[in-house]
Structure 1
Amino acid sequence: MSDYHHGFSISIERTGNQRVLLAMHARGKLEHADYETLVPMLESAIGGMEHPKIDVLMDMRELEGWEIRAAWDDLKLGVKHGRQFNKVAMVGNKAWQETAAKIGTWFIGGEARYFEDKAPALAWLDETP
C-alpha cells in the first residue's frame, strides 16, 4: 500500500471585466491531468476579456513537485498567458519553493512572490497599484 496522496483544487473568481483570481492548492506532484482541468477553466474565465489580469494564489505547502509532462504543461501555460499574469503569490514551506517563485517571475509579465503564510499572500494580492 502506498502513502502517496495527490490532490489539486482550483477556484476561479472573476471580478468585473479585467481581473481573475485563480486560487490553487496542490498536494503531492502536479500531473498532466491537473493542467487538462486547469487550462480550459482559466481560458473560459478570461474569455471575452480584452486585457485580462490574472492574480494567482498558489498554496504549495503540500506540493512535492511536478511530473515531467506537467512541468511542460506549466511552461506552455506561461508562454501562452504569461503577459496576463499580474501577481502570483506562492505560499510554501520549502526552500525550493521560494526558488521556484523567483524563477517564475522570469516567465510572467507581472510579479511573483513567496510567502510562508496565506494571510500576507492574500493581503498582497488585494493591494491595488
Structure 2
Amino acid sequence: MLQFIKDLPSHVAGVHATGEVRDEDFERVLAPLLNEQVNSQGKINFLLVLDTKVSSFTWGALWKDLKLGLKHYRQWKRIAIVTDQREVKLFSDAFRFIIPGQSKGFPLDRLDEAVRWVSVK
C-alpha cells in the first residue's frame, strides 16, 4: 500500500510503502502526486519511505513505477529513499548516474536527515 506522507514542505512529494504494493496504488496515489508536483513546482523532490520488501511490489506496480519514472524523467530533482534494505539503498545511491537529478539512500533511523536533504530547493 502507498500512503501520502503529510507534513512535508510543499515542494516535496512523499509516500510511505507498506505491505503489498499494487499497480492501483500507483494510479491512485503516486501518479496524481507526481503530476501535481510537476504542475505546481516544475521539478520533483521525492521522498519514499520503503517499509516493505521490494518483493511485495506486484509486477504491475513495478511496471507502473518504471513508466512514471520515465514520464517525468527530466523533472526529477532529488529522490530520497529511506529503507533498511541494504540493496535498495545501494541502488538508490547508484540511481544518480541514471537520472538527471540527485538520488540518495538513507536508513529508516535517519528519516529526519532524509527529509532535510530532499527538501533542499
**What CA distance in whole angstroms lies between the structure 2 residues aligned with 1:85 and 1:115?**
18
Alignment partner of 1:124 is 2:120: no
1:72 to 63, 66, 91: 63
In structure 2, the residue matched to 1:52 is 42
Higher strand share: 1
Give the Å deviation of 1:45.
Answer: 4.0
The separation in 1 between residues aligned to 2:24 and 2:43, in whole angstroms, is 25
Larger RCO (CA within 8 A; separation ≥ 6): 2
Higher CA-based Rg: 1
Q: What are the ranges of 5 or more consecutive residues in structure 1 without an aligned counterpart? A: 1-6
Matched with 1:40 is 32
Structure having the higher helix fraction is 2
For structure 2, the residue ranges without an aligned partner over 5 or more in a row are none
Q: 1:45 and 1:126 mapped to 2: Cα distance?
A: 13
Q: Separation in 2 of the partners of 1:126 and 1:41?
A: 16
Take 1:57 and 1:103, find their aligned partners in 2: how far apart are those partners?
Answer: 16
Q: Please, what is the CA RMSD of the aligned residues? A: 2.2
Q: 1:14 to 1:42 in 2, by over 3 A?
A: farther
> Conserved in 1, the CA contact under 8 Å of 2:5 and 2:16?
no
* TM-score (ref. length: structure 2): 0.80
1:98 matched to 2:92: no
Amino-acid identity (%): 25
Aligned residue pairs: how many?
115
